[in-house]
Copies of this chain bind each other. A is one copy, B any other.
Amino acid sequence: METADRAVVLNTAQALKMKQKINVGLIGLGTVGTGTFRILTGNAESIRHRVGVPVEVVKVAVRDPKRDRGLSLPAGVLTTDPMDVVTDPSVDIVVELIGGYEPARSLLLEAIARGKHVVTANKALLAVHGIEIHAAARRAGVDVGFEGSVGGGIPVVKALKEALAANRILSIYGIINGTSNYILSKMTDEDRSFADVLAEAQQAGYAEADPTFDVGGIDTAHKLAILVNLAFGAGVDLKDIYTEGITAISPEDIDFGRDFGYKLKLLAIAKARGGKVEARVHPTMVPDEYPIAKVGGVYNAIQVVGDACGDIMLYGRGAGSLPTGSAVVADIMDISRSILMEPSRRLPAVTERAHLEVQPMDTITSIYYLRFTALDQPGVLSQISGILGRHNISIAQVIQRGRKEGGAVPLVVMTHTALERDIQKALVEVKSLASVREQPVLIRVEGGPE
């Protein structure tokens, strides 16, 4: 290293020694806010040791200051106006944990405009307004921490931003919605219906009263947008991400999948495809022996395949007060260290410059599980396989289960790799057959025979 650089560097280190404390302002004291506060106070001593100076919560905005959260908040810290946190000149880092688009977006932009670093776990906000927020932060020379936005306490953001930064990322497979994974795991283990398990999950507090965001795949798509941006260095429009939830999954298909050696998971999938990227969320069959197939209950897992590191899987608690708080505090600590050093030159991990083209869904290729309900009469299999063949769809395996002369029985097909567009066209034709009853079921399959 040149001597000139070193001299400047050491002088700076001296000059910066005047900063004796990092001041944090929290907006929101719900599940994640409470966890964040607990960690910052409970582990204050080891955090001080690792950062170099104390990290202290000096301002907290809540809607209802009278509510008992079981926390001992210092006097004068609470406010009901989030702008008090943003405008407080002593606050170095503004932590937004209220969720939703507004006022979260305006508060973060205002904090950034005032030269404050920000931390958020707000995946919906980042998926839709991430480019705007990152661009504003770059202009202002401040950091945006968002480790808590995907995978709770699992350090996937840091992995993609830093630890795997030497890699060209080839693909990402994520189980990143705990509610959906809990429901699918229960349906699989106990052979129960979606509605039945959902009702139980709602009672147990694992699913919201309105579960649409979770079971509809929307939350997963939000998180996938964030991961794609990190992995491929460019933004992606949420509307370009094909999104299909788990509401239509029947135990029958889970069961047939088992016969083929697959587990059913709601996967977020991203794959590099030349200059484009595949980005999609849908129920997916995964070979039993894949590590990601074994992720049960409310756990999350993200598999990343890089050209150098090969396949890496990160696994852990994808939500909750302390796990997500752990990620938020890790961001606060990283930013604290960068405040004590030099904040303007940070890794350009999230790029606002480029826009990433998502591969249209009808041009992806996959293996497909297809379940038809057909009359149990001669020639049906031949008709269906004829249609598939004419659409360039090659069959790997067929299961016909049960016999019911003149009645409708399931006919299940596992294909070789085929083009989505061909599959969709073939299904329209198959559906029009007189012998085929009900809407055919289509589930995409990852892994297995090509």
Binding site for B on A (CB under 8 A): 1-2, 4-6, 8-10, 12-13, 15-16, 18-19, 35, 39-40, 42-43, 46-47, 49-52, 92, 115-117, 141, 147, 152-155, 158-159, 162-168, 233, 291, 294-295, 306-317, 320, 322-323, 325-327, 329-330, 332-334, 337, 339-349
Chain B residues contacting A346 (CB-CB under 8 Å) are 337
How far is B56's CA from A432's CA once the two chains are assembled, in angstroms? Answer: 62
Q: What B residues does A4 contact at CB under 8 A?
A: 15, 18
Q: Quick check: A308 and B323 within 8 Å, CB to CB?
A: yes
List chain B residues, Cβ under 8 A from A1: 92, 115-117, 339, 343
Question: Quick check: B294 and A165 within 8 Å, CB to CB?
Answer: no
Choose among B5, B42, B340 the residue that contacts A16 (Cβ–Cβ < 8 A): B5
Contact status B311-A316, CB under 8 Å: yes
Closest to A16 in B: B5
User: Chain B residues near A306 (CB, 8 Å)?
Assistant: 153, 326
Contact B13 A345 (CB under 8 A): yes
Are A317 and B326 in touch, CB under 8 angstroms? Answer: no
- A349 and B330 CA atoms in complex are apart in Å by 13
Given contacts A5-B18, A291-B294, A311-B317, 19 further A-B contacts (CB under 8 A): A5-B15, A9-B344, A12-B342, A13-B342, A39-B167, A43-B167, A147-B163, A154-B312, A162-B333, A163-B330, A165-B329, A166-B330, A307-B322, A310-B316, A310-B322, A313-B316, A314-B314, A341-B341, A341-B345
CB–CB A333/B12 < 8 A: no
Nearest opposing residue in chain B for A51, CB measure? B347
16 pairs of residues in contact across A and B, judged by CB atoms under 8 Å: A1-B115, A1-B117, A43-B307, A147-B163, A153-B308, A153-B310, A155-B155, A155-B163, A162-B330, A308-B323, A309-B323, A310-B317, A310-B323, A312-B314, A313-B316, A337-B345
Query: Which residue of chain B is the closest to A3 with respect to CB atoms?
Result: B115
Partner of A12, one of B8, B307, B311, B312: B8
* Cβ-defined contact, B43 with A166, below 8 A: yes
Contact indicator B330/A164 (Cβ below 8 Å)? yes
B residues in contact with A320, CB < 8 Å: 310
Find chain B residues with CB under 8 A from A47 CB: 165-166
Do A162 and B154 contact each other (CB < 8 Å), given the known contacts A18-B4, A167-B326, A344-B10? no
Interface pair B315/A312, CB less than 8 Å apart: yes
Contact of A153 among B16, B295, B309 (CB under 8 A): B309
Contact A349 B164 (CB under 8 A): no
**B12 touching A9 by the CB < 8 A rule?**
yes
Taking CB atoms, residues of chain B closer than 8 Å to A310 are: 153, 316-317, 320, 322-323
Measured between beta carbons, the chain B residues less than 8 angstroms from A313 are 313-316
Residues of B within 8 A of A323 (CB): 308-310
Q: How far is the CA of A176 from the CA of B49 in the complex (A)?
A: 29
Nearest chain B CB to A225 CB, angstrom units: 20
**With A50-B349, A162-B158, A165-B50 known to touch, is A15 a contact of B8 (CB < 8 Å)?**
yes
Contact at B49–A348, with CB atoms within 8 Å? yes
How far is it, in angstroms, between the C-alpha of A164 and the C-alpha of B340 when the chains are bound?
20
For residue A332, which residues in chain B have a CB less than 8 angstroms away from its CB?
166
Q: How far is the CA of A294 from the CA of B292 in the complex (A)?
A: 11
Query: Which of B167, B340, B345, B348 is in CB contact (< 8 Å) with A345?
Result: B340
How close is A63's CB to chain B, nearest CB, in angstroms? 25
Across the interface, name the chain B residue whose C-beta is closest to A10. Answer: B344
Q: What is the CA–CA distance of A347 and B338 in the complex, to the nearest angstrom?
A: 10
Residues of chain B contacted by A42 (CB below 8 angstroms): 307
Inter-chain contact A166/B348, CB cutoff 8 Å: no
Q: How far, in whole Å, are A363 and B213 apart by their CA atoms in the complex?
A: 50
Question: How far is B154's CA from A167's CA once the two chains are assembled, in angstroms?
Answer: 13
